[in-house]
Chains A and B, each alone.
Chain A
Amino acid sequence: MTELERALVALGRELDIPAGPDLRSRVRERIERKPRRRRAVVLAVALLTALGIALAVPPARSAILRFFHIGSVTIERVETLPHAQERSLVAGLGPPLSLREAEKIAGVALVLNAPRPRRFYAQPGLIATLLHYRGTSVLLAELQGDQMGLTKKLAGPGTTVEPAPIGSFGLWLEGGKHVLMWSAASGEIRQMERRLAGNVLIWTEGNRTYRLEGGLNMGQMVELGRQITR
């Protein structure tokens, strides 16, 4: 070890680093909560299975056939899709912002374990950015809390919905036409935005809902999702 390296070790001993707290009881309390959570996940998966079976039967005549909530996202299966157009993945999310500006507007700190893009988008309660993965653009959106109705997803009959192995609970939506709707702020006015959506992975982890949208298959999307929250 050189003299400079010895000096750095000595400096480390002089730093104002507080003694860490005893984390045992808090960690234990959290990990012992898991069985209850696991039961909740099992219940959610059972509900989803029931939903899948229900969706397999001939469609009823009601306008809204089924709906499902996951975190901040509501999925509704309808007979007739609302009118919507192909638009860019970030359409309606507002102007591109720096990370700091976006987090301030969203009130949500971005979780992203990957190189940071330069542009971010925000709505109150939602922060988003475009990632480039396996040669394609993927929209990552993160929503805080589990307030239902902040974002709505409407799936046409051709869209499959299935559980995805990610986070506390994940869903994969693929195929057919489906419409994404959400309420966006434009100045003082809030307006309903809508566009046709691509393949989507939605999952919850902690108090957060993650949503990835793009032209990847489920395996690739789950792979990306796990990297983001690793």
Chain B
Amino acid sequence: MGRPLDESDLIGRARRGDTHAYEELVHAHQGIAFRTAYVIAGNAADAEDAAQDGFVKAWRALGRFREGAPFRPWLLQIVANEARNRRRSTGRRAHLALRAATEQPSGDAAPSPEASLLSAELRTALLAAVNDLPEDQRTVIALRFFVGLSEHEVAEALSLPEGTVKSRSARALERLRASYD
């Protein structure tokens, strides 16, 4: 068996029409693509459609992908766009909810050290405050902290200048601090 291909090799092969190489890229990024779509669209069905359509559109746009650029933010921009279109078409706000109290986080035998920071009451209050944020601020917070994107990646995904992401994030955190303190 040969060495695992790195991402730029896979992208190069995919650009030349290799669907197996693209399948590996889908495998590598489908988790974060779905999660990104979910926090924007607010439900699993739309998130799944958005992620799937995003991968298909990204394949068709590979010819325009800038060689050497990171693939993930470029892909997430397409997926986020798909998710936003679905959310707008339903006219619903995305509303995130906590996992049922009896369930453990998937793959974790015990609550993470970070999770133990939060009491159940505080979790509920903080999430309610996040859900109450204006849509543009809520999306930035969700992508930054719930999906785990960097500010640069959030900016790419939302097609915004990084400064706008920083200012939205700062305003949102200021509002959330009132619920947290």
Contacts and interface: CB of A to CB of B under 8 A. Distances in A.
Our verdict on whether A and B bind, yes or no, reads yes
Interface of A: 2-24, 26-28, 30-32, 34, 99-100, 103, 109-113, 116, 230
Interface of B: 19, 22-23, 26-27, 30-31, 33-35, 38-39, 44, 47-48, 51-52, 55-56, 59-60, 81, 84-86, 88-91, 96-100, 105-106, 108, 112, 114-115, 117-118, 122-123, 126-127, 130, 141, 144-148, 173, 176-177, 180
Contact of A20 (B48, B108, B146): B48
A7 B117 contact: yes
10 nearest A-B pairs in the assembled complex, by CB-CB distance: A20-B34, A109-B89, A12-B146, A10-B114, A8-B145, A16-B99, A27-B55, A31-B59, A16-B97, A10-B115
A116 B166 CA distance: 24
Main secondary structure of the interface of B (DSSP, over half): helix
28 contacts: A4-B173, A4-B180, A7-B122, A8-B141, A9-B148, A10-B114, A10-B118, A11-B123, A11-B130, A13-B115, A14-B115, A15-B146, A16-B99, A20-B33, A21-B48, A23-B26, A23-B48, A23-B55, A24-B23, A24-B26, A27-B56, A30-B56, A31-B22, A31-B56, A103-B91, A109-B89, A111-B85, A116-B88
A7 to B, nearest CB: 6
Contacts of B86: 109
Point out which of A3, A17, A26, A30 has the most chain B C-beta atoms below 10 A from its C-beta: A17
A6 B114 contact: yes
Given A12-B146, A31-B56, A24 B91 contact: no
A165 B65 CA distance: 18
Point out which of A16, A20, A30, A100 has the most chain B C-beta atoms below 10 A from its C-beta: A20
A99 B91 contact: yes
Given A6-B117, A34-B60, A20 B96 contact: no
Contacts of B180: 3-4, 7
A21 B33 CA distance: 11
Contact of B99 (A15, A22, A31): A15
A13 B81 contact: no
A15 B98 contact: yes
B77 to A, nearest CB: 9
Contact of A9 (B33, B56, B85, B114): B114
B18 to A, nearest CB: 11
A27 B118 contact: no
Nearest to A21: B48
A32 B55 CA distance: 13
Contacts of B147: 12
B38 A17 contact: yes
Nearest to A18: B44
Given A28-B23, A111-B85, A17 B55 contact: no
Contacts of A10: 112, 114-115, 117-118
A213 to B, nearest CB: 22
Contacts of A110: 88-89
B23 A11 contact: no
A8 B126 contact: yes
A23 B51 contact: yes
Contacts of A26: 52
A4 B180 CA distance: 7
A11 B89 contact: no
A8 B146 contact: yes
Contacts of A9: 114, 145, 148
A210 to B, nearest CB: 14
